[in-house]
Amino acid sequence: MPYTRPDLSEILANEQTLNTNLTLAQTRLRAILDEEEIGYTQGEGVIPLIRKLPVPVPTTVEWNCYESWLTYSGPQTSRRSTDAYPVVRDQHGTYIPDVPVTVRRKPISGGLWSNYGTYVSSHDRIDLHPDANKGGYIYEVYVTANPSISAQLTLPQYWFNYDSRDEDFGVDYSMDAILDTANPLISVNVKSIDTTYLSYGTNYFYVTANAAGELLLAIPLKNAPTIVGANSNTNVYIGYDVTRGNTAYSNGALGVGGGMVGNGSRNSMGIFLNSSDYDFRETYENAFYFDPSDVGFTVSGQSRECVVIIPGGSSGAYTYYENADGSISEYAGYWYASQLGSRYGPCLVIYKNKATANERIKITVKYIKASCP
């Protein structure tokens, strides 16, 4: 076999490249060890330095999950599952893949933990499914080898929800699917309602005023669970984020809320206001007869969740208006099922006391949901 003389210049170039890479690797390894305050000697090569590197230790675990409300059954059913991904991180906040984790859950209302399953972090998708427990669950994920490393996810379940799209089945159950904007029960000084953006899964739409003056609109909810004559545990919830503005009510204010509205005069409506001096107003019949008040729902410059709670009952009930934690509560008007017309039900309410002609008003709704027996 003939002998081929090696190219010494190529060997030298490869040797220089190798030395450069080794020197760079030493520099980077030393930087890591310096940050970890781990000692070494200048004479140690790459392999000894690698052996000194700290082993990643699972330190925290977190949920990566779209926290939607889940629904169980019935014509109002929207999202039947949601996906959760546990992420385990080391002492530096860097995620560690393929760590065995365990998931358990217990009812939000109280009770014992039950095992939900075992998975591998950053690898397995965990499907959370609703069941007949309308109150929902607290889901806890923990590192199987060290249960003290854990995180919790509170996931309510309701039988009626239009806060999201049902991606699993390709069906749009956004709020556009239940706001019956074509058949408002009360419409005063309303030129048009534009729900184009709702159909794309957003949570806002536009109302245009016809002329200068007061605007009042009550939009009924489609497919809402029975309220009139229903069990008193049946509740419809409409949530808004409201910020107190800088303009006094006398100079113009926007009100968003809800209530029970029908053919007769015994409507029960209330609205949260964005004015600087008042944040709530109520009515008993078809107009806002009572003066606005400052209940404490809103705070200047801060977005606060305000909730309309429309309950059922054999002969009617108060519609309540609360902040997110229920520490502030007000009611508007008492309605009687025996005195109501056939077109009567829970409605989303919009009010503006000093609209301008052709003014386009943006209405943002945080959620619409319900709990049914």
45 vs 57, residue with greater confidence: 57
Most confident of 103-107, 108-112, 176-180, 328-332: 103-107
Unique residue bearing structure tokens 């004015």: 275
CB-neighbour burial class of residue 370 (10 A; exposed 0-12, middle 13-18, buried 19+)? buried
Predicted local confidence at residue 133, as pLDDT: 82
Distance in angstroms (rounded) separating the CA atoms of residues 195 and 206: 7
Rounded (5°) CA angle 111-116-121: 130
Res 362: pLDDT: 95
**How many Cβ atoms from other residues are within 10 Å of residue 76's Cβ?**
23
Chain centroid to Cα 260, Å, comes to: 25
- Least Cα distance to 300 among 336, 335, 276 occurs for 276
* Residue 117 in this model has a pLDDT that exceeds 70: yes
Residue at 317: amino acid letter: A
- Give me the percent of the chain exceeding a pLDDT of 90: 38
Q: What pLDDT is recorded for position 334?
A: 64
Q: Look at residue 52 in the predicted model and tell me its pLDDT.
A: 72
Least confident of 4-8, 254-258, 298-302: 4-8
The pLDDT assigned to 339 comes to: 47
Low-confidence winner among 111-115, 164-168, 238-242, 333-337 (lowest mean pLDDT): 164-168
Structure tokens at 253: 């204010």
Residue ranges of domains in the chain, CATH in brackets: 8-52 (no CATH), 60-160 (2.60.40.1930), 175-371 (2.60.120)
Higher pLDDT, 308 or 264: 308
Are the CB atoms for 54 and 38 separated by under 8 Å? yes
- What 3-state class would DSSP assign to 255? strand
Other residues' Cβ atoms within 10 Å of the Cβ of residue 371 = 19
318-343 mean pLDDT:
75
Residue 216 pLDDT grade (very low, low, confident, very high; cuts 50, 70, 90)? very high
pLDDT score for 172: 44
> For residue 320, what are the contacts with CB-CB under 8 A and spacing of at least 6?
308, 309, 311, 329, 330, 331
| Whole-number average pLDDT of the chain | 81
| Res 174 pLDDT > 70 | no
Looking at residue 358, its pLDDT comes to 97
pLDDT band at 167 (very low <50, low <70, confident <90, very high): very low
Element containing residue 192 per DSSP (H, E):
strand 190-194
Q: Which residue has the higher pLDDT, 170 or 120?
A: 120
pLDDT per residue as tens digits for the range 261-288: 875 556 788 999 999 999 999 876 666 7
Could you tell me the pLDDT band of residue 102, with boundaries at 50, 70 and 90?
very high
Q: Kindly report the number of other CB atoms within 10 A of residue 167's CB atom.
A: 15
Among 112-121, 166-175, 195-204, 303-312, the range of highest mean pLDDT? 112-121
pLDDT given for residue 114 in this prediction: 95
pLDDT computed for residue 274 by the predictor: 96
Quick check: 223 pLDDT over 70?
A: no
Sign, CA torsion 322/324/325/328: negative
Global confidence as pTM: 0.64
DSSP 8-class letter at 277: S
126's tokens: 């965990």
Would the pLDDT of 59 be above 80?
yes
Residue 300 DSSP class: B
The CA distance from 84 to 81, in Å, is: 10
Q: What are residue 25's phi and psi, to 5 degrees?
A: -65, -40
- Tell me the pLDDT tens digit for each residue of 1-39: 677 777 777 777 778 887 788 788 778 878 877 777 778
* Gap between the Cα atoms of 239 and 225, Å rounded: 17
